[in-house]
């Protein structure tokens, strides 16, 4: 018997579903405490006042208010500065 199927068998057909990352509540929207604002991998966005980071870097609101985004540049250990976005609930 042959070790491989005849007529070519497909091998690389598996695919994983999307992870639904990204901004969930936009600037100016009213949120309640506990609402998820951003789902992300790593810290491209930083939790500001009125928000906290989850274990998987998810940013969520800790109080009711409106969402605000501000841009900043953060200094890294190597000394160079990288752009980051601060997410706040005011």
Q: Which of 30, 29, 36, 61 is nearest to 48 (CA)?
A: 61
The pTM score is: 0.81
Confirm whether 40 is domain-assigned. yes
Owning domain of residue 70: 22-89
pLDDT at 15: 87
Give the domain CATH number at 58: 2.40.50.100
Confirm whether 15 is domain-assigned. no
pLDDT at 6: 65
Taking the CA atoms of 21, 33, 67 and 51 in sequence, report the sign of the dihedral they define: negative
pLDDT at 48: 96
CA-to-CA distance for 24 and 84, rounded, in angstroms? 17
Q: How confident is the model at residue 12 (pLDDT cuts 50, 70, 90)?
A: confident
**What pLDDT, in 10s, does the model give residues 20-73?**
999 999 999 999 999 999 999 999 999 999 999 999 999 999 999 999 999 999
Confirm whether 11 is domain-assigned. no
* Other beta carbons less than 10 A from residue 39's beta carbon: 17
CA-to-CA distance for 46 and 30, rounded, in angstroms? 19
């Amino acid at each position: 018997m042959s070790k491989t199927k005849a007529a070519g068998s497909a091998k690389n057909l598996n695919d994983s579903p999307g992870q639904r990352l990204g901004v969930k509540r936009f600037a100016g929207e009213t949120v309640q405490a506990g609402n998820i604002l951003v789902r992300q991998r790593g810290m491209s966005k930083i939790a500001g006042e009125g928000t906290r980071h989850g274990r998987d870097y998810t940013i969520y609101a800790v109080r009711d208010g409106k969402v605000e985004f501000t841009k900043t540049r953060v200094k890294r250990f190597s000394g160079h500065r990288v752009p980051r976005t601060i997410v706040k609930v005011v």
